[in-house]
């Protein structure tokens, strides 16, 4: 596939002012009549993108287009419109939604018809200048068989509907806001609705709807509540109101990603809509709230102001992720206090470190605004989304909440209704605050995770503490504008007021330092004893902090750091150090030992009743394997797993009584409610259960089995099931799995959990069944399906990503299985295939023996001629 470059951006010669779409809907043969009112903007032909369409007719101003005026191109067609300045172009196409296994464009799922147009799906529905900088007014007529498709939805407002002859009916939808084609949507199916009317802040009445399949109405309330909370939050925080009379969310079972922010008609993967206590965990509830919010917030950051081109994707995604993170943090803090906010920040950073740091250190590394791509679908990445959100967060930190809000207001006042760039956004922030952000813009063009090296020196005689902070950028790029929040902790554990050389009075205990040079030296005065630095508080910049700290210091910060993020981070650093040392022993065949100092510090956190259970749960959770592997050279997943098994066992054995005591004390009385305080108690209890089962503590295993097979809610049930499956208690695990299967065999979303937990299962004894054998057997399970992305992510994704020791098997069987899955998925659904293909991109970090086995499979795949551009781009980059 050709490489598309950012610097080649050119506006099109023609734009579309308004478009009338008429759909004669049918699962196998849908006919689309598309009338575009086109307007000239420059010299050149009308460029229309088209993919896989059967063209029935094409006319300009009512006249069939002559062969000589038409040129077929790699991406569609070009029409020479002569000297005209306006033209009515009508194109009729036919498509087969049932054959659309890629789930891009118009597709058939569970008896209904759904669309997914971002990034380039609209061209699979009709011929159109399918680029985000072409913003048109859409009127959509849907016509279909009433029995098969009783509900007909599209963007905007319903302006007419009625019956037609032959058992058919129609609906006409008008979207008052110009939009790019990627925000177009239609839904036709047999759905039921939960609805609510709300008043916006300015007093307009709006209709909110959540559409689901029959039988799921009792699972739609949480999504509806989340939508209302999102509306209120955006009004309060940014003064942004819902601009339509009607806002719809539709749940669909087959969907490539999480959800899609189509104007007024958000289409969601059902797993981010449906929840009731029996079927969804606290984590599911949390995800639903944040995904609903994310899509809702896109209405302003993405839809009202959209992207000029796909290189600017982080303009809408980074900003909207930041907005949804802030929303969730505010919601959690309102219900569970400031500690709940800290837990959210920790979870977000944990995710960044697990998913984005490895991406930024591998062959797919790219700046948050990439400079080139082959398949745009490959660039919906953790870098564009999560690192992009960190970049926006740094602006928020640098400008303050009020300054950031002023920047947002100015951005909307300049660019509402436009397709713009990241520069436009940062310029608005800069102008609104009178600050120069030119250097800050480098965050948009540098790839790789910067390192921040810190060195402190205490001079007792001068009562000074000197701190030198040095930036290291991976490509040797220019210095970044980096906000670093820091504090100094005194020997008794209290933060010291900070006075920098030259200042006359003592300042706050946490200071925000703006680094702009490669190296910066700070001198703190009036320091009576050697302090312990606490750097990058709140993770104020997305960097790797390199600071030499011995065990004593880490334990000290675990006990005293007043910044909850850094306190957690100290625990993580201690864990990383211990686990890497244990892994090195395991690799040499030596039995790994857990140091007493670590156990003592860990136990102190566990026993600290002043800390909320939710906080203790995150602080006592081991770093993700993917993050740990990132710290090892070479990465040895099998040795790492051996070390983790020993560590988990020891934590369960040595602190067994404490965990059992907590287990009893943390039980939550009464009916399930989704609330951060309750969720925190359940999280800590479930974590304890993991350690207890890992150690085979009889009482722990017994309680877990009772919970896994009892009549409680899903958070308890699944927590217990996970603890058993991730433990040597194989008989109890088998009983619990069978019970779970019997209860939920007909519930697709719950069965995804069942598939994933087995795919991710650790092997506690060498003679146990390897995960791969189980997965191969599960592929024939009646609830499994190769055409449903959720199933692929649950069974294969969990194996490739969440079970590194089993996937990176010494015999290479994991890699052969992977290659076979990619071959098959590549034909069905290239977007999903390419996501799965990415799991081996960092193969060069593995041990030499594993590298050889992985390379063999990657090379074999690259040698095949039918690879989709998506998969090819990933694999060719992997081979470098
Ligand atoms: N903006 C949405 C992106 C998306 C997507 C992209 C490629 C292929 C399928 C897709 N489904 C949704 C999701 C979001 O960020 O809100
Ligand atoms: Zn988004």
pLDDT in tens, 501-530: 999 887 899 999 999 999 999 999 999 999
**pLDDT for 505:** 83
Atom of ligand 1 at shortest range from CA of 302 = 1
What CATH number matches the domain at 306-444, 1.10.150.120, 3.40.190.10, 3.40.47.10, 1.10.390.10? 1.10.390.10
Question: Nearest residue CA, atom 15 of ligand 1?
Answer: 317
**Span from the CA of 356 to the centroid of ligand 1 (angstroms):** 18
**Span from the CA of 321 to the centroid of ligand 2 (angstroms):** 7
Quote the distance between the C-alpha of residue 421 and its chain's center: 22
> How far is the C-alpha of 66 from the C-alpha of 664, rounded, in Å?
80
Residue whose tokens read 């009036």: 526
For every residue of 294-335, DSSP letters joined together read HHHHHTTBTTTBEESSGGGHHHHHHHHHHHHHHHHHHHHHHH
Query: What ligand has the least distance to the C-alpha of 323?
Result: 2
Atom of ligand 1 at shortest range from CA of 376 = 7
Atom of ligand 1 at shortest range from CA of 831 = 8
Taking the CA atoms of 303, 102, 817 and 746 in sequence, report the sign of the dihedral they define: positive
Ligand 1, CB within 6 Å, residue ranges: 116, 118-119, 256-257, 259-261, 294-295, 298, 317, 377, 380, 831
Q: Which among 742, 743, 777, 744 has a CA at the least distance from the CA of 758?
A: 777
Question: Nearest residue CA, atom 1 of ligand 1?
Answer: 260
> How far is the C-alpha of 253 from the C-alpha of 501, rounded, in Å?
61
Residue whose tokens read 């916006």: 200
ipTM for this prediction: 0.98
Low-confidence ranges of the chain (pLDDT < 70): none
Question: Nearest residue CA, atom 13 of ligand 1?
Answer: 260
Question: Nearest residue CA, atom 14 of ligand 1?
Answer: 260
> Tell me, which fold does domain 4-189 have in CATH?
Immunoglobulin-like (2.60.40)
The values of phi and psi at residue 498, to 5°, are: -105, 125
Domain coordinates of the chain in residue numbers? 4-189, 306-444, 452-541, 551-652, 655-744
Q: For residue 797, what is the DSSP state? A: I
> How far is the C-alpha of 407 from the C-alpha of 391, rounded, in Å?
15
**pLDDT for 507:** 81
**Span from the CA of 256 to the centroid of ligand 1 (angstroms):** 8
Question: Nearest residue CA, atom 6 of ligand 1?
Answer: 118
**pLDDT for 597:** 97
**pLDDT for 639:** 98
Q: Is 442 left (phi over 0), alpha (psi -120 to 50) or beta?
A: alpha
> How far is the C-alpha of 739 from the C-alpha of 359, rounded, in Å?
38
Q: Which among 259, 188, 254, 190 has a CA at the least distance from the CA of 230?
A: 259
For every residue of 34-97, DSSP letters joined together read EEEEEEE-SSSPEEEE-SS-EEEEEEETTEEPPGGGEEE-SSEEEE--TT-SEEEEEEEEEE-G
> How far is the C-alpha of 673 from the C-alpha of 221, rounded, in Å?
12
**pLDDT for 447:** 98
**Span from the CA of 258 to the centroid of ligand 2 (angstroms):** 9
Residue whose tokens read 């069939």: 64
Q: Which among 442, 289, 323, 342 has a CA at the least distance from the CA of 392?
A: 323
Q: Do domains 4-189 and 452-541 have the same CATH topology?
A: yes
Atom of ligand 1 at shortest range from CA of 291 = 16
**Span from the CA of 355 to the centroid of ligand 1 (angstroms):** 17
**pLDDT for 855:** 98
701: tokens are 């295993």
Mutate to test the pocket of ligand 1, among 105, 380, 383 (most ligand atoms within 8 A of CB): 380
In CATH terms, the superfamily for domain 452-541 is: Aminopeptidase N, middle-beta domain (2.60.40.1840)
Q: Which of 78, 120, 286, 295 is catalytic?
A: 295
Question: Has 455 been annotated as catalytic?
Answer: no
Residue whose tokens read 């061209």: 123
> How far is the C-alpha of 603 from the C-alpha of 609, rounded, in Å?
12
Atom of ligand 1 at shortest range from CA of 385 = 15
**Span from the CA of 139 to the centroid of ligand 2 (angstroms):** 25
**Span from the CA of 268 to the centroid of ligand 1 (angstroms):** 10
Question: Nearest residue CA, atom 5 of ligand 1?
Answer: 118
Q: Using an 8 Å Cβ cutoff, are 418 and 305 in contact?
A: yes
Query: What ligand has the least distance to the C-alpha of 266?
Result: 1
Query: What is the value of pTM for the model shown?
Result: 0.99
Task: Give the model confidence (pLDDT) of 305-359 as tens digits.
Answer: 999 999 999 999 999 999 999 999 999 999 999 999 999 999 999 999 999 999 9
Atom of ligand 1 at shortest range from CA of 257 = 11
When computed from its CA atoms, the radius of gyration of the chain, rounded to whole angstroms, is 28
> How far is the C-alpha of 388 from the C-alpha of 371, rounded, in Å?
15
Question: Nearest residue CA, atom 11 of ligand 1?
Answer: 257
**pLDDT for 767:** 87
Q: Is 114 left (phi over 0), alpha (psi -120 to 50) or beta?
A: beta
């Amino acid at each position: 596939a050709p490489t598309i470059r950012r610097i080649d951006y050119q506006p099109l010669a023609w734009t579309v002012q308004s478009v009338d779409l008429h759909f004669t809907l049918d699962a196998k043969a849908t006919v689309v009549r598309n009338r575009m009112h086109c307007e000239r903007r420059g010299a050149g032909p009308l460029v229309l993108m088209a993919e896989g369409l059967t063209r029935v007719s094409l006319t300009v101003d009512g006249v069939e287009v002559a062969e000589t005026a038409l040129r077929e191109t790699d991406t569609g067609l070009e029409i020479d419109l002569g000297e005209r300045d306006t033209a009515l172009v009508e194109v009729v196409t036919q498509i087969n939604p049932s054959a659309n296994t890629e789930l891009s464009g118009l597709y058939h799922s569970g008896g209904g018809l759904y669309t997914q147009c971002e990034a380039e799906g609209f061209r699979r529905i009709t011929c159109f200048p399918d680029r985000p900088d072409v913003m048109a007014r859409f009127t959509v007529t849907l016509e279909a068989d009433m029995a098969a498709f009783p509900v007909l939805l599209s963007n905007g407002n319903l302006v007419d509907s009625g019956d037609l002859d032959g058992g058919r009916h129609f609906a006409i939808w008008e979207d008052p806001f110009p939009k790019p084609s990627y925000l177009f949507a239609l839904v036709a199916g047999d759905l039921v609705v939960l609805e609510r009317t709300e008043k916006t802040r300015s007093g307009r009445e709006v209709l909110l709807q959540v559409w689901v399949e029959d039988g799921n109405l009792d699972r739609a309330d949480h999504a509806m509540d989340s939508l209302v909370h999102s509306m209120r939050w955006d009004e309060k925080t940014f003064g942004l109101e819902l601009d339509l009379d009607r806002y719809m969310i539709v749940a669909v079972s087959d969907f490539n990603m999480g959800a899609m922010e189509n104007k007024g008609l958000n289409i969601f993967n059902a797993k981010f809509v449906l929840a009731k206590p029996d079927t969804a965990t606290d984590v599911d509830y949390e995800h639903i709230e944040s995904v609903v919010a994310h899509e809702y917030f896109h209405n302003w950051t993405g839809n009202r102001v959209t992207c000029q081109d796909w290189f600017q994707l982080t303009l809408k995604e980074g900003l909207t992720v930041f907005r949804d993170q802030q929303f969730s943090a505010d919601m959690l803090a309102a219900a569970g206090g400031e500690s709940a906010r800290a837990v959210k920040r920790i979870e977000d950073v944990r995710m960044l470190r697990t998913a984005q740091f490895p991406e930024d250190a591998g062959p797919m590394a790219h700046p948050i605004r990439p400079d080139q791509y082959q398949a745009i679908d490959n660039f919906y990445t953790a870098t564009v989304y999560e690192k992009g959100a960190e970049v926006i967060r740094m602006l928020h930190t640098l400008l303050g909440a009020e300054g950031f809000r002023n920047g947002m207001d100015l951005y909307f006042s300049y660019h509402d209704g436009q397709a713009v760039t990241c520069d436009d956004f940062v310029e608005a922030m800069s102008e609104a605050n009178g600050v120069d952000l030119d250097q800050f813009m480098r965050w948009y063009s540098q790839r790789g995770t910067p390192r921040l090296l810190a060195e402190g020196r205490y001079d007792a005689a001068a009562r000074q503490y000197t701190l030198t902070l040095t930036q290291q950028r991976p490509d040797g790029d220019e210095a970044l504008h980096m906000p670093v929040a820091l504090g100094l902790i005194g020997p008794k554990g209290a933060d010291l007021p900070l006075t920098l050389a030259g200042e006359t009075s003592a300042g706050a205990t946490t200071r925000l330092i703006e680094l702009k040079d490669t190296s910066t030296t700070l001198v703190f005065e009036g320091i009576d004893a050697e302090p312990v630095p606490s750097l990058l508080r709140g993770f104020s910049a997305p960097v790797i902090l390199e600071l030499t700290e011995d065990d004593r210091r880490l334990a000290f910060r675990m006990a005293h750091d007043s910044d909850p993020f850094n306190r957690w981070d100290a625990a993580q650093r201690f864990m990383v150090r211990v686990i890497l040392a244990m892994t090195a022993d395991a690799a040499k065949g030596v039995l790994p030992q857990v140091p007493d100092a670590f156990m003592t510090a860990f136990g102190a956190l566990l026993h600290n009743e002043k800390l909320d259970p939710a906080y203790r749960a995150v602080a006592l959770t081991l770093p993700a394997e993917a993050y740990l592997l990132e710290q090892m050279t070479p990465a040895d997943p099998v040795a790492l797993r051996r070390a983790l098994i020993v560590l988990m066992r020891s934590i369960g054995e040595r602190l067994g009584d404490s965990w059992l005591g907590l287990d009893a004390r943390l039980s939550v009385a009464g009916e399930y409610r989704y609330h951060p305080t309750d969720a925190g108690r359940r999280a800590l209890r479930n974590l304890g259960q993991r350690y207890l089962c890992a150690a085979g503590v009889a009482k722990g295993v017994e309680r877990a089995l009772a919970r896994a097979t009892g009549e409680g809610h899903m958070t308890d049930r699944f927590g217990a099931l996970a603890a058993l499956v991730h433990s040597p208690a194989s008989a109890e695990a088998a009983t619990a799995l069978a019970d779970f299967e019997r209860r939920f065999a007909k519930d697709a979303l719950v069965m995804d959990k069942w598939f994933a937990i087995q795919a991710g299962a650790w092997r506690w004894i060498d003679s146990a069944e390897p995960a791969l054998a189980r997965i191969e057997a599960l592929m024939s399970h009646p609830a499994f399906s190769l055409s449903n992305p959720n199933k692929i992510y649950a069974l294969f994704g969990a194996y490739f990503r969440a079970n590194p020791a089993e996937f990176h098997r010494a015999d290479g069987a994991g890699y052969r299985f992977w290659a076979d899955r990619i071959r098959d998925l590549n034909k069905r659904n290239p977007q999903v295939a390419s996501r799965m293909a990415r799991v081996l991109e960092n193969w060069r970090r593995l041990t030499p023996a594993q590298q050889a086995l992985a390379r063999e499979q990657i090379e074999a795949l690259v040698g095949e001629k039918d690879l989709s551009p998506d998969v090819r781009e990933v694999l060719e980059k992997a081979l470098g």
